Structure 1
Amino acid sequence: DIDALRAVANGINKFMSEDKFVLIITHYKRILELIKPNKVSIMLDGKIVEEGDGKLVDKLESEGYAWLEE
Structure 2
Amino acid sequence: MSVKSFLPVLKDAKNPNDAISSDERVNVISLGDRLAGNLMSKGIGVKHDKTNMTQKLLKKGWRSAQAYISW
Higher relative contact order (CA 8 A, sep 6+): 2
**Structure holding more strand per residue:** 1
Structure exhibiting the larger radius of gyration computed from Cα positions: 2
Same-fold call, TM > 0.5? no
